[in-house]
Amino acid sequence: MPEQKSPFILVDGSSYLFRAYHVPQLQRMTNSKGMMTGAVFGVINMLKSLINEYQPSHMAVVFDAKGKTFRNDLYPEYKANRPPMPEELRDQIQPIHQIVKAMGLPLLVIDGVEADDVIGTLADQASRAGIETLISTGDKDMAQLVTEYVTLINTMDKNHPITDRERVIEKFGVKPEQIIDYLALVGDKVDNIPGVEKCGPKTAVKWLSEYGSMQGVIDNADKIGGKIGENLRNALEQLPLSYELATIKLDCELDKKPQALTIDEPKLEELKVLYGEMEFKRWLTEVLQAGGEAIEAEEEATTIDRSQYETILDKSQFDKWLKKLEKAELFALDTETTSLNYIDAELVGLSFALDNGEAAYLPVAHSYMGAPEQLGRDWVLAQMKPLLESDNHKKVGQNLKYDKSVLARYGIELAGIKFDTMLESYCLNSVASRHDMDTLALHHLNHANIKFEEIAGKGKAQLTFDQIDLEQASPYAAEDADITMKLHQKLWPQLAANQGPKQIFEEIEMPLLNVLSAIERNGVLVDGNLLGEKSHQFGERLVELEREAYDIAGEEFNLGSPKQLQAIFFEKLGLPVIKKTPKGQPSTAEEVLQELAMDYPLPKLILEHRSLSKLKSTYTDKLPQMINATTGRVHTSYHQAVAATGRLSSKDPNLQNIPIKTAEGRSIRTAFIAPKGYRILAADYSQIELRIMAHLSQDKGLLDAFAKGLDVHSATAAEVFDVELEEVSANQRRNAKAINFGLIYGMSAFGLAKQIDTDRNTAQDYINTYFARYPGVEQYMESTKTKASELGYVETLFGRRLYLPEINAKNGLRRKAAERTAINAPMQGSAADIIKLAMLEVDQWLKTQAGIKMIMQVHDELVFEVADDQLELAKQKIPEIMASVAEFSVPLIADVGVGDNWDQAH
């Protein structure tokens, strides 16, 4: 090896593989063909970062080979507890290998040994040659390889400190040369290395500190008392085997020595094909540029010159920019504030951009020591009010609902909102990626924005925007506006070319932005004292549940600890194991507890405890703290660009998740109250998804049931159970309801059997009978799956497009899941469109009425605050408007309730 400027790097590819696979953001990442690509992206991204940081000349990426190793010959139970590799991960191994080789990196996969052994052998060879070596891994076993020349780095650790000899001692409490002894004593459940029963890290460290090595511990086993000493003596015969299993091999037969493992030039043609198949656009662009190829317009990287941005500090600059904005056909607008909470955020500055690349930041309230003099906020807003409130001057922004709400605090009703890049992206493809500006800039413009943390810091020490120096704040703010304009120029042509998504954008999502801003600012009155009382009641009941659980278990334990629950349930009480975790442990997940709760009291108690604990922490404890000091109300944030189906979600607080199936959950709604002289009115669409199913499928039986105003669940029960309508029992109706909604969601016979507590064959008989009575429903489902497979997407009745990247996946489970989504998405998406259309129509009517406010939207329900003298009008008019927003083959019906609080009205 020539004179070394950077370390010889050995990458534990298998460690990278599993760690990348378990990154939540990458787990559902696919290309347009439905192939999982998250692990590929994660592994290659880590490799690129490592190479970029160390610029090595010599390197190897090592993966485990298929099949057994010599350790399985030593001990057949070795790694026997490990679940098989998930198919979607296995499918990504070959592409990773192909890309690694195409990058010019040496790839090693050696039969009969593990990646650790290959790495150990190369590290030992390099160390003996005096070559500085860096092993990139997350595997603790590798600590045994650390020497004067060999160190470890964990790239998944944000700080990724180097693990050298001192760090090994600090981390494990033993020296690198004692790590094998330590591992042998402690054992490893994942790899199924026996160890000494109940010997944890502290005990192992204590023994090795006293006796030096595992052999020293063995030699002094008689001196160690208590149960742990007995366990040690029982393990004496197998400890040498544990030691051998934990020892990384240093003498693998390899074709190449460290000096020969050089990084070659990347194979650009191969990378072009591979990145293209994976749809890694940014890396594909880099490869095309490196090869000197012409890049198609849609793949060009956007050039941003931040030095050209202006900072507006005097009136002449301001006048110049105001004239530019007044003349522009469209300009980008962004606000900078002190908070992400629109109701409390104070305006610090505004940024603008034009379609020719010009951009500027106008600071109005930076208050750090030494801040330059700025134009006053009140003066600036007074000058800009006509422009900002003009419907003729068109604006584009990223999440302009927030900016509209902020400006409203200063008496400005932002108008002329023509485009929103977040919503453009969302309407184009709701499942493709996140729709925040940084993600969109990277994906569509190949540009990395300045991150807020880069200029403001992190954690408790993070500055608010008014405290940030203008030298940093101005480029950040102006870039936001500039990138917004450039994103719009990229996204709008794509959206305009697709009639359905364009219609959803222009006729539903953009006008809804204004309505949601108003609803958020209206807020809802919440009785904090009542919630405080409920918190106290819930707390007392939680204590009772804990005592009851301790009595059943015969000991005290942490009801929220899965590990302790496993021990109590499956070891002490001997409850049946329903399901296992990916690591092979008995599961205590919600669905498992629900099944166990049918036969055993303790799981039932745990479920009640979990439910009550969540209600207390999420609502009764938290909601009173969220009452705004100025308005006296709670103000949620509605998110338009989250749910793939078009449903709205809400946050801080999440109104969509307040449970209604339990008395405790419903009681939370009693705290949502009307002010004096007003009542709460709730209008809820009746069985809207079933009505949409009837319309889509045109099934005669369903159409007739709705046309006659029958209770559709009773009508289904009469058909499925072959009884007269008036003879349908409550239980039959309940089961029919499960069938109706279950089939909409693509439920299998197995799922239905669990839901209605019957056997699988009986459930299948019910499904068969249902389809026999309602053949149009089955025809709709089959034709929808076929069409989705051909197009790669389904659409709502109004043109909202829902892409299904896994509809043609090779993996049967993923394909079936996509097919279920294909059936349900048009119904759920159409229901989302209908409630949004209803909000728009009701809002138009409310502009002509006094004393009525729309204060919440939850699922298929709109909630209002209505003055007593307007109540009769509202009860008649609101459901009438909601029923008229779409023409269906069956009537749309909105049920109305009124009360002093939301629970009474619902």
- Which residues touch 704 (CB under 8 Å, ≥6 apart)? none
What's the confidence (pLDDT) of residue 140?
Answer: 85
- Whole-angstrom distance, CA of residue 352 vs CA of residue 397: 10
- Whole-angstrom distance, CA of residue 157 vs CA of residue 255: 33
Residue 87, classified by CB atoms within 10 Å of its CB into exposed (0-12), middle (13-18) or buried (19+), is middle
- Whole-angstrom distance, CA of residue 36 vs CA of residue 809: 9
What's the confidence (pLDDT) of residue 524?
Answer: 97
pLDDT along the chain (906 residues), means of 10: 71 89 74 80 91 91 89 79 78 94 94 93 93 90 91 74 86 92 87 86 92 91 89 89 90 92 92 88 80 46 78 97 97 97 96 95 96 96 98 98 97 97 95 82 81 89 94 96 96 95 97 97 96 95 95 92 90 87 78 86 92 92 94 96 92 88 88 97 94 94 91 89 89 89 80 82 89 92 93 94 85 83 93 97 96 96 97 97 95 96 93
Helix (H) / strand (E) containing 369: none
Enter the tokens of residue 638: 């509605």
- Whole-angstrom distance, CA of residue 774 vs CA of residue 720: 10
Angle between helices 421-428 and 470-496 (to 10 degrees): 40
Residue 688 near residue 892, CB atoms below 8 Å: yes
How does 282-298 read in b/e, with b if 16+ C-beta sit within 10 Å?
A: ebbbbbbeeeeeeeeee
Residue 65 has what DSSP assignment?
P
**Look-up: residue for tokens 């662009």?**
285
3-state secondary structure of 255: coil
Its CATH architecture, for the domain 832-905, is 2-Layer Sandwich (3.30)
C-alpha closest to that of 483 among 342, 318, 312, 355: 355
Three-state SS for 304-365 is CCHHHCEECCCHHHHHHHHHHHHHCCEEEEEEEECCCCCCCCCEEEEEEECCCCCEEEEECC
* Total Cβ atoms within 10 A of residue 883: 17
3-state secondary structure of 803: strand
* Total Cβ atoms within 10 A of residue 469: 14
C-alpha closest to that of 218 among 173, 185, 178, 192: 185
- Whole-angstrom distance, CA of residue 511 vs CA of residue 514: 6
- Whole-angstrom distance, CA of residue 655 vs CA of residue 638: 9
What DSSP string runs through 90-135? HTTHHHHHHHHHHTT--EEE-TBS-HHHHHHHHHHHHHHTT--EEE
- Whole-angstrom distance, CA of residue 792 vs CA of residue 804: 6
C-alpha closest to that of 484 among 452, 438, 450: 438
Residue 400 has what DSSP assignment?
H
C-alpha closest to that of 339 among 637, 57, 683, 678: 637
Three-state SS for 595-611 is HHHCCCHHHHHHHHHHH
Q: How many angstroms separate the Cα of 337 from the Cα of each of 169, 364, 685?
A: 47, 10, 38
Question: Could you tell me the residue ranges of all domains in the chain?
Answer: 8-168+249-260, 268-299, 306-497, 832-905
- Whole-angstrom distance, CA of residue 492 vs CA of residue 424: 7
What's the confidence (pLDDT) of residue 646?
Answer: 94
Which superfamily, per CATH, for 306-497?
Ribonuclease H-like superfamily/Ribonuclease H (3.30.420.10)
Its CATH architecture, for the domain 8-168+249-260, is 3-Layer(aba) Sandwich (3.40)
Residue 661 has what DSSP assignment?
S
Residue 195 near residue 184, CB atoms below 8 Å: yes
- Whole-angstrom distance, CA of residue 37 vs CA of residue 23: 12
- pTM for this prediction: 0.75
What's the confidence (pLDDT) of residue 817?
Answer: 85
